[in-house]
Amino acid sequence: MNLWHGIARRLWPGVVRLQGLDYTRAVGDIVTTLYAAPLALAGLIWLGAATDIPLLRSHWLLLLFILGLLSLFDWLSFSLFVETSPGIFADWAWSFKGLIAWSAVFTLGPGALWVAVLWLLGYFMFRWRRATLPEWRWNLARNLVLDCAVVVFCGLAALRVYSGMGGEIPLVGFTWQNLSPALVALLAWVGLSALLWAPLLAFFSASREYAWAHSSGWTFWRFLAITLGWRLFVDPLSVLPAVLFTQTGFAGYLFSIAALGITAALAHQLSQALELSRLRTRELEILERLGQELLAAAPNLDELSALLKAHIGGMFPYSHVELRLFPAQTLLHYPDDWSPVEEAVWESAAAGSACCFMPNQLTPWGERLEAKGVVLVPVLDVETEQVIGALYLARFRDLEALQQVLPALRLFASQIATVVQANRILARRLAYERLVQEFALAGQIQTSLLPAQMPQLPGWQLEVVLKSALETSGDFYDCIALPDGRLGIVIADVSDKGLGAALYMSLSRTLLRIYATQKPDPAEVLVLTNTHILQDAHAGFFITVFYGVLDPLTGVLTYSNAGHLPPVMVYYQPELALTLLPRTGMALGVCESARWETSTLQLSRGDALVAITDGVVDAENAEGDFFGAERLYEVLKLQAGQPAKVIQQAVQDAVTGFMLEAPQHDDMTVMVVARFD
């Protein structure tokens, strides 16, 4: 290990400025380039001596076609993912390029390897122009030299085995006598290739920055066996196109290549889908942990940078990230050795809309992007929704997926805005006694998480009131904008009051919002929220939740009730009896294996749904009597066909008139959803 580091620093002194995974990768690239270069050069000299130039001239169209196939199958590459430890994955990218190259070799002889060499050089030169950092160019050089050594030197050595066993070019049939030398040669090529890769893999596996450092030795060998097994299974298929070309001509060869293309396309699509799913899951998990730490630590803005840096690399790999609050307060600059973002970028970001720019685009601040993509996301003030800052991300790899990180960036910006809001509230309360200050601050933060106003839906009226018993509340409500114009409606009650219940409410609210935008079924949203509450919060609380998805066009409400007080359906016709929406499962935070059912309800013109928390029916007067559910139902029967505001005010007035001067012991929330087309 120390020898590798010493060699790398001697060949490129600038490697010492890199840190962590970037440094380890650069050291591996430099030393691998050094040990593979002599083999690559020897292979090219050997190939020049073994090439039958007249044969290549006579088949130049076929060679040109094979060059195009190498580009096509490189584009249709796919990846193998192995979980080395919980949440940490190692991957191995692969394609059918080797199969194409060997089918050409078994058809035209060793000279066909020049096509692979030309493709490698073309790919190298194309990427070199886009590589703006020295470490990226070292990586390109390593790939070129090592691939040349594998393709040419190891390939010619394997062909020597092939000819030594009596193999002939071209392959003429599917007899064992013809195929056995080819299969042994391919086995030799895989073995020699593995030997060339072995030093680099050993170096990476011993480096703590790589995924293998977090796994058992068995996981590494299992991954290695899978990759080698894949090659031993796939590479022998290269004899099929070669024999078909010899026996049936170009048509048979083209048929076999088409079958490989279909297979590669399916594997490519599946690999991309799995990788996208893995990345989105990782982003959500990191954002969730970051949100919990922000709530738990409530850091001031000066301490925020260190907390963000602990998460940002895993959330957005291969990226440079800068976060600024306007006019000139930089909260995050990652990595440290990257040049600051120009002022013209921030002036453009102040416009306020999220935007994504790809390579070769001219940005509004006048920069022509070359080897990177850029995303700008505004940070909006929680109270006023004015732009108070911006998040800048520059990405240098996997640019085709750049736009897919926008949702995670928006959530990240929202969390930052919440922290900024928390710091603003904290600054307003510095003069107060510490304990009072903490409760007041928590109450302000919690209030800022609730909707500033209820949504305005054509033909609908939504009203809500929340009256806390203390500075903070265990009750909360929410309205979540969903796809296709649907609206998520939440009313919930934590099993306690005070600061702990408020933090528990904030975590639950964040989880419900995240999963409501991912899952259309309310029951699935409750299952995912319940699982993460039990995994991440160990406060001994539970929470009752009514969550419904309203389609404003049809009036259909799809809901699940997790142990919450049943909402009441008040029909337009006074003669119709009130209908209760019963519980469809237990409260959240009790049992990880709990499940919930989903029900539907039709709201017609003039109908109203009234949802409350138990603080309403449990309200007490001076004599210790409870307001009770029956009094509530009598009030609601008199409000049939009334507007939402009238119904909400009637319930509130009835409770207030019952309690008079008696103290309030529990939080009270009343939400009314009425249809008035």
In a domain, 286, yes or no: no
In a domain, 412, yes or no: yes
In angstroms, the CA 433 to CA 335 distance is: 39
Residue 261 has pLDDT above 60, yes or no: yes
Closest CA to 271 of 81, 119, 137, 28: 81
Which residue, chain included where needed, has tokens 């190498």?
Answer: 70
Residue 87 has pLDDT above 50, yes or no: no
In angstroms, the CA 501 to CA 495 distance is: 7
Same domain (yes/no): 396, 516: no
Closest CA to 464 of 608, 299, 635, 624: 608
Q: What average pLDDT does the segment 455-483 reach?
A: 87
ω into 335 cis (within 30 of 0): yes
Tell me what the pLDDT averaged over the chain comes to.
82
Residue 531 has pLDDT above 60, yes or no: yes
Q: Looking at residue 539, which CATH number applies to its domain?
A: 3.60.40.10
Same domain (yes/no): 189, 308: no
- Coil, strand, or helix at residue 355? strand
Same domain (yes/no): 523, 407: no
Residue 53 CA neighbour count, 13 Å, CB half: 2
Residue 94 has pLDDT above 80, yes or no: no
Identify the burial level of 439 via C-beta atoms within 10 angstroms of its C-beta, where 0-12 means exposed, 13-18 middle and 19 or more buried. middle
**Overall domain count for the chain:** 3
Q: Which domain holds residue 667?
A: 451-675
Structure tokens that stand for 13 in this block? 């002194």
Same domain (yes/no): 190, 42: yes
In a domain, 287, yes or no: no
Confidence of residue 159 (pLDDT cuts 50, 70, 90): very high
Q: What average pLDDT does the segment 150-159 reach?
A: 93
Same domain (yes/no): 350, 304: yes
Beta bridge mates, 675: 460
**Proportion of the chain above pLDDT 90, given as a percent:** 31
Identity at 567, one-letter amino acid code: P
Helices and strands (DSSP H and E) totals, the chain: 21, 17
Residue 485 has pLDDT above 80, yes or no: yes
CA 656 to chain centre: 48
Same domain (yes/no): 463, 401: no
Which residues, other chains included, contact 345 with Cβ-Cβ below 8 Å and sequence gap of 6+?
363, 365, 367, 376, 392
In a domain, 443, yes or no: no
pTM summary value: 0.52
Confidence of residue 562 (pLDDT cuts 50, 70, 90): very high
State residue 431's pLDDT score: 46
- Taking the CA atoms of the chain, what radius of gyration do you get in angstroms? 33
**Proportion of the chain above pLDDT 70, given as a percent:** 82
Going through 396-508 in order, the beta strands assigned E by DSSP cover 460-467, 475-481, 487-494
In a domain, 433, yes or no: no
Same domain (yes/no): 302, 276: no
Inter-residue contact 371 to 300 (CB < 8 Å): no
Inter-residue contact 383 to 448 (CB < 8 Å): yes
State residue 415's pLDDT score: 76
In angstroms, the CA 541 to CA 538 distance is: 8
In a domain, 31, yes or no: yes
Residue 202 has pLDDT above 60, yes or no: yes
388-431 per-position pLDDT tens digit: 888 888 876 666 666 777 777 777 777 778 777 777 776 666 54
263-311 per-position pLDDT tens digit: 888 877 877 666 666 666 666 666 566 666 665 655 566 667 777 777 6
Domain's final residue, options 424, 441, 465: 424
State residue 301's pLDDT score: 65
Higher pLDDT: 664 or 232? It is 664
Exposure string over 18-43, b if 16+ CB within 10 A, otherwise e:
beeebbbbbbbbbbbbeebbebbeeb
Q: Which of 114-123, 498-507, 532-541 has the lowest mean pLDDT?
A: 498-507
105 sits in the region (left: phi over 0; alpha: psi -120 to 50; else beta) called alpha
Q: What is the DSSP letter of 53?
A: H
Residue 634 has pLDDT above 50, yes or no: yes
Which residues, other chains included, contact 326 with Cβ-Cβ below 8 Å and sequence gap of 6+?
346, 350, 387, 388, 389, 390
Same domain (yes/no): 66, 188: yes
In a domain, 288, yes or no: no
Q: What average pLDDT does the segment 364-384 reach?
A: 80
Q: What average pLDDT does the segment 71-84 reach?
A: 74
Structure tokens that stand for 591 in this block? 């049992």
Structure tokens that stand for 324 in this block? 């600024």
Q: What average pLDDT does the segment 598-602 reach?
A: 94
Same domain (yes/no): 470, 589: yes
Q: Looking at residue 306, which CATH number applies to its domain?
A: 3.30.450.40
In angstroms, the CA 557 to CA 499 distance is: 33
Same domain (yes/no): 200, 329: no
> φ and ψ at 582, to 5 degrees?
-70, 165
Which residue, chain included where needed, has tokens 């528990």?
Answer: 504
In a domain, 363, yes or no: yes
Same domain (yes/no): 125, 168: yes
Beta bridge mates, 323: 332, 391
Same domain (yes/no): 324, 255: no
Residue 350 has pLDDT above 70, yes or no: yes
Domain's final residue, options 257, 281, 305: 281
Beta bridge mates, 479: 489
Inter-residue contact 260 to 239 (CB < 8 Å): no
Inter-residue contact 294 to 305 (CB < 8 Å): no
In angstroms, the CA 491 to CA 611 distance is: 7
